[in-house]
A and B are shown apart, each in its own frame.
Chain A
């Protein structure tokens, strides 16, 4: 904690909160509570929610499995190219999701750079559930990489060095010392990645399409319902917000400057 903030920041903070909270509140206000149970239990709604949770969980798992090593590599890599490579890896954060979807098509689509070869091998990614997971992983990965890299960068490596003098292999040191120390950062990265994957829309629509039960996730279902039944769209939207807010509230703790490890002197 840095102490009490200056008084003039108070109103600004309230405006900031209002910018975020008002639209959400407006959505909830727009909800027709009497029809909500019925709207949320249609086969389409349940299918979309199930698909969303399943794919978001899978892509979060992939982000953890792949993003941790990538963040580690970035943190320890000594090269002048590092800023450029880091910027490239974080590009999905700033890329419009539709562009991300197009990029995925050019890479993994039927005529894509890698997709064509995969097609020859009998593997078709585009417009499958796997494509949804890939799109979500693409947009969510930067959160995991950022969290891991910055947490590792803040460590002095004192315990890792001592583990070395005791004969500890790199793998043993990773599991017993580094990963436990990174736990808060990994949780933060996981939660942010899951939230981002759950809300993914543009890249999914572009790259994976909108096939009910296969690639039509909750955000896509909301977008489609809006055309026919606005009340259904609102009910689904409130559901999505509720899931996301619950996950973040339960698991997310801000990455404060906590003591990382005990480097004496």
Chain B
């Protein structure tokens, strides 16, 4: 069943519209505080938003905009939510945590436990089944929470930042689990990492301060973003201007070398540049060079991002010899393609 949701919550500045096809996965990509958790909680019904509606196939889970508002209790939605918090019930064993959903749906104790044990085994968690839930590490607990949600046979699975607060190794195991087990489950996952969207999702919606800035297939949104915000979330710099054969010309007159031959001369065009592929050159003689002025320098782990007014480049710390205000020459990578903006 496909999911259609609109969530409005004035107090948190949220007004978002999402859609997920039956059996597919939508990644909601946005920075912290963009309202991702609120949107998921509203779909699950654990938070009552100010307005909006959620439809699952032909069924209306809630409609708060209707003249007579309707509201389905979370218990009857069959929409499972996994949050960033401590989700496991501490008084129960891992096995009984997983069995909780089945027991709630009327399964007998023995059947529910057997079924839960096989779920845990599939997730590589058989050896922790009989441990108290409170003894698990963060990564294990998150995996169990996801298995528990899946075992309850939800019609929609909601994963709120499933990789937040777990270490790199645990995140890799989680990612594999989600990729394997949610293939046929209608899933919405929130993340601030475009990699998660690439690896796990079919479509992506970029959330900017509570509203959807851009939506589409993962490749369309992450490789050819239309908004600066979506480009930034995808780890790119968006340059917009007019198509001019072998370049995009910005309104300020900067020429970005990119194949724009498919676009009419002067048509609105955009090119999304990955700063890792951009280098700092010595002179403006290179055909792939763009002369720019440095407006900011930021550390980004093992590299330094030199931000110009138009472009940006990630360079090695040791090679950094420019400061804010300097005129620099960026060398863009080969093979850039402009697209219609």
**In this complex, what residue of B is CB-closest to A166?**
B101
Residues A159 and B73 in contact, CB atoms below 8 Å apart: no
Chain A residues with CB below 8 A from B96, complex form: 176
Residues A165 and B91 in contact, CB atoms below 8 Å apart: no
Residues B78 and A261 in contact, CB atoms below 8 Å apart: no
Chain B residues with CB below 8 A from A159, complex form: 87, 89-90
Chain A nearest CB from B225 CB (Å) reads: 28
Residues A165 and B74 in contact, CB atoms below 8 Å apart: yes
Chain A residues with CB below 8 A from B44, complex form: 165
What is the interface residue range for chain B against chain A? 20 to 34
Chain A contributes a number of interface residues (CB within 8 A of B) equal to 21
Chain B nearest CB from A187 CB (Å) reads: 14
Chain B nearest CB from A212 CB (Å) reads: 46
Residues A161 and B46 in contact, CB atoms below 8 Å apart: yes
Residues A167 and B90 in contact, CB atoms below 8 Å apart: no
- Asked whether any CB of chain A lies closer than 8 Å to the CB of B307, the reply is no
A26–B78 Cα distance when bound, in Å, is: 66
Chain A nearest CB from B12 CB (Å) reads: 12
Chain A residues with CB below 8 A from B90, complex form: 159, 180-181, 261-262
Chain B residues with CB below 8 A from A262, complex form: 85-87, 90
A75–B19 Cα distance when bound, in Å, is: 38
A67–B87 Cα distance when bound, in Å, is: 29
- Asked whether any CB of chain B lies closer than 8 Å to the CB of A172, the reply is yes
- Asked whether any CB of chain A lies closer than 8 Å to the CB of B226, the reply is no
**In this complex, what residue of A is CB-closest to B151?**
A166
B133-150: contact bitstring with A at CB < 8 Å (1 yes, 0 no)? 000000000000000110
- Asked whether any CB of chain B lies closer than 8 Å to the CB of A96, the reply is no
Chain A residues with CB below 8 A from B101, complex form: 166-168
Chain B residues with CB below 8 A from A265, complex form: 37, 84-85
Choice from A165, A169, A180 contacting B77 with Cβ under 8 Å? A165
Residues B37 and A167 in contact, CB atoms below 8 Å apart: no
13 chain-A/chain-B pairs, Cβ below 8 angstroms: A162-B83, A164-B45, A164-B46, A165-B44, A166-B149, A167-B101, A168-B101, A169-B75, A172-B104, A176-B96, A176-B100, A262-B85, A262-B87
* Contacts from A to B (Cβ < 8 Å): 158-159, 161-169, 172, 176-177, 180-181, 261-265
* Contacts from B to A (Cβ < 8 Å): 37, 44-46, 73-81, 83-87, 89-92, 96, 100-101, 103-105, 148-149, 152
Since A165-B77, A167-B78 are in contact, a sample of 18 more A-B pairs with Cβ atoms closer than 8 Å, ordered by chain A residue number, is: A159-B90, A162-B81, A162-B83, A164-B73, A164-B74, A165-B44, A165-B46, A165-B74, A165-B79, A166-B152, A167-B105, A168-B101, A169-B104, A180-B91, A181-B90, A261-B90, A263-B85, A264-B85
